[in-house]
């Protein structure tokens, strides 16, 4: 054998840092911007694009812009004496309308409180370092919607019937003189109905699953009825707030109400639908598929039209549903169907071994899904989920066609003011509206990217 075939290592090489020439900005520019001829061409094209797009925008929105004034004359080139860009005083003049719609001026503090409270609860929820996430989530998803609802509408709904009342038993309940802020008829009805439901659930559980199941069934009813009572109580009590009809709401308020409620409803509902679609129970599966395919197959504008103009024809005489609520439900159901398909994509990517691992340690279907499968599946489809959220946020503008004035609607209404009819009003308005939408959507996008990065770092392979 020659000496080349035999080798025994006699040294051990310690790891060293990479050579310096691999780092540094000059090196980076050469490698990424000017490496090859196509790269140079692309770099030049990019620079040209920036040159074409950025200076005119800066010119229009900043340099030539008018910043103050009280009416259209401030923004007319003839009166100003130089070419006029964006007419910002128009925005300042209309800002209240854009933020609150026709919400009564004296009550606007309520909207402000809702905005502030929302920001105050949302911020610590998305910042990773802040503790008490569970409590925070309960406050944001459980308590905040009720508080916001009462503040925005004014509450004091004067509830009259619960289940038994609708069945015609209300004559049996005691009547207390008017002037008491909550309705005794309603609450007697509520308590009796709850007891009846609990008894019914307990009875069914006993027949189906034996006496051991009774406690669980009663507890389930209680966990639904007690929080519901708190919600209804909040809605029923007279806090002395002036009622504000939803047709007075508008602008950013409506955009946020529709988007936030659509987002918070569509995710959990979409998850349930996705699980339903993969269920082995035929009835659940068929219902989920029908629901998803129906809402996916119908344009959102049709849904809104139907909810607004057709639904009242099918409702019994005298029964009305709030216009905004109808649009909200339509948007939420629509978004849920889309969300379901995104989540299903994530569920399908989870290997069978994960289910088997979970089952083998004794987890039942519920905990298996909640603790093992869904956390992984949802993480995989964060880009899709946020994509849906962003789409939903922008789709809210479609409520314009059923005469609900969201941010864009309020803006278009503001255009009709002859006081501010100038050549650049339109561009200023759309530019401003676009900026607002962009800020929200870009925020969601950045948050989703940060979230993905964080989750990836935690479980790097």
Partner 1 sequence: MSTDPMIAKDPMIAKTEADAPKVAIELVGVNKWYGEFHVLRDVNLTVTRGERLVICGPSGSGKSTLIRCINRLEEHQKGRIIVDGIELTDDLKRIDEVRREVGMCFQHFNLFPHLTILENCTLAPMWVRKMPKKEAEALAMHFLEKVKIPHQANKYPGQLSGGQQQRVAIARALCMRPRIMLFDEPTSALDPEMVKEVLDTMVELAQDGMTMLCVTHEMGFARQVANRVIFMDAGQIIEMNEPNAFFSNPQHERTKLFLSQILH
Contacts with partner 1 by CB under 8 A lie at 353-354, 356-364, 367, 371-372, 375-376, 379, 455, 458-461
Minimum CB distance to partner 1 smaller for 82 or for 364: 364
Report yes or no: 409 and 397 within 8 Å, Cβ to Cβ: yes
Cα–Cα distance between 430 and 420 in angstroms, integer?
14
Sign of CA pseudo-dihedral 29, 31, 37, 43 = negative
Sign of CA pseudo-dihedral 388, 389, 394, 397 = positive
Minimum CB distance to partner 1 smaller for 99 or for 372: 372
Residue showing tokens 């905005």: 115
Least Cβ distance, residue 390 to partner 1 (angstroms): 25
Minimum CB distance to partner 1 smaller for 206 or for 412: 206
Minimum CB distance to partner 1 smaller for 167 or for 359: 359
**Per-residue tokens: 394:** 């922008």
Least Cβ distance, residue 357 to partner 1 (angstroms): 3
Least Cβ distance, residue 354 to partner 1 (angstroms): 6
Least Cβ distance, residue 58 to partner 1 (angstroms): 46
Minimum CB distance to partner 1 smaller for 13 or for 352: 352
Report yes or no: 149 and 174 within 8 Å, Cβ to Cβ: no
Cα–Cα distance between 114 and 256 in angstroms, integer?
11
Cα–Cα distance between 93 and 91 in angstroms, integer?
5
Cα–Cα distance between 399 and 409 in angstroms, integer?
9
Least Cβ distance, residue 457 to partner 1 (angstroms): 10
**Per-residue tokens: 372:** 């093992």
Minimum CB distance to partner 1 smaller for 304 or for 372: 372
Q: Give bridge partners of residue 251 from the DSSP assignment.
A: 406
Least Cβ distance, residue 1 to partner 1 (angstroms): 27
Least Cβ distance, residue 209 to partner 1 (angstroms): 9
Least Cβ distance, residue 368 to partner 1 (angstroms): 9
Nearest to 323 by CA among 242, 408, 245: 245
Which phi and psi angles does 439 have, rounded to 5°? Answer: -60, -45
Longest dimension (CA), the chain: 113
Number of helices (H), then strands (E), belonging to the chain: the values are 21, 0
Minimum CB distance to partner 1 smaller for 134 or for 460: 460
Cα–Cα distance between 293 and 276 in angstroms, integer?
13
Least Cβ distance, residue 126 to partner 1 (angstroms): 20
Which phi and psi angles does 183 have, rounded to 5°? Answer: -90, 120
Minimum CB distance to partner 1 smaller for 298 or for 451: 451
Minimum CB distance to partner 1 smaller for 359 or for 401: 359
């Amino acid at each position: 054998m020659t000496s080349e075939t035999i080798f025994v290592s006699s040294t051990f090489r310690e790891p060293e840092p990479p050579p310096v020439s691999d780092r540094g900005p000059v090196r980076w520019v050469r490698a990424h911007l000017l490496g090859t001829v196509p790269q140079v061409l692309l770099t030049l094209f990019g620079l040209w694009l920036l040159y074409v797009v950025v200076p005119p925008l800066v010119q229009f929105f900043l340099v030539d812009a008018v910043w103050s004034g009280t009416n259209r004359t401030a923004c007319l080139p003839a009166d100003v004496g130089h070419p006029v860009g964006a007419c910002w005083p128009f925005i300042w003049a209309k800002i209240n309308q854009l933020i609150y719609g026709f919400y009564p001026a004296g009550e606007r503090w309520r909207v402000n409180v809702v905005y502030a409270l929302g920001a105050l609860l949302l911020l610590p929820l998305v910042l990773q370092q802040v503790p008490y996430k569970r409590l925070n989530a309960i406050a944001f998803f459980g308590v905040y919607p009720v508080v916001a609802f009462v503040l925005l509408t004014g509450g004091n709904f004067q509830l009259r019937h619960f289940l038994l009342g609708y069945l015609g038993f209300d004559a049996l309940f005691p009547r207390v003189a008017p002037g008491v802020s909550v309705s005794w008829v309603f609450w007697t009805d509520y308590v009796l109905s709850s007891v009846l439901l609990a008894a019914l659930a307990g009875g069914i559980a006993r027949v189906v699953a034996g006496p051991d199941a009774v406690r669980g069934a009663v507890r389930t009813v209680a966990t639904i009825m007690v929080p519901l009572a708190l919600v209804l109580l909040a809605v029923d009590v007279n806090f002395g707030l002036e009622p504000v009809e939803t047709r007075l709401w508008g602008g950013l308020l409506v955009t946020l109400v529709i988007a936030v409620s659509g987002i918070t409803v569509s995710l959990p509902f979409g998850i349930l639908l996705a699980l339903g679609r993969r269920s082995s129970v035929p009835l659940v599966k068929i219902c989920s598929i029908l629901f998803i395919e129906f809402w996916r197959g119908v344009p959102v504008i049709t849904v809104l039209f139907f909810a607004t103009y057709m639904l009242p024809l099918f409702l019994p005489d005298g029964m009305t549903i709030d216009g905004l609520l109808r649009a909200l439900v339509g948007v939420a159901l629509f978004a849920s169907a889309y969300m379901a398909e995104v989540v299903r994509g994530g569920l399908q990517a989870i290997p069978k071994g994960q289910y088997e691992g979970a089952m083998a340690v004794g987890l039942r279907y519920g905990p298996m899904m909640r603790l093992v499968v869904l956390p992984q599946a949802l993480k995989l489809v964060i880009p899709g989920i946020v994509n849906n959220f962003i789409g939903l946020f922008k789709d809210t503008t479609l409520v314009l066609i059923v005469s609900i004035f969201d941010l864009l609607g309020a803006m278009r209404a503001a255009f009709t003011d002859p006081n501010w009819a100038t050549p650049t009003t339109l561009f200023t308005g759309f530019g401003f509206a676009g900026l607002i939408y962009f800020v929200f959507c870009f925020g969601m996008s950045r948050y989703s990217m940060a979230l993905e990065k964080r989750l990836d770092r935690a479980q790097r392979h």
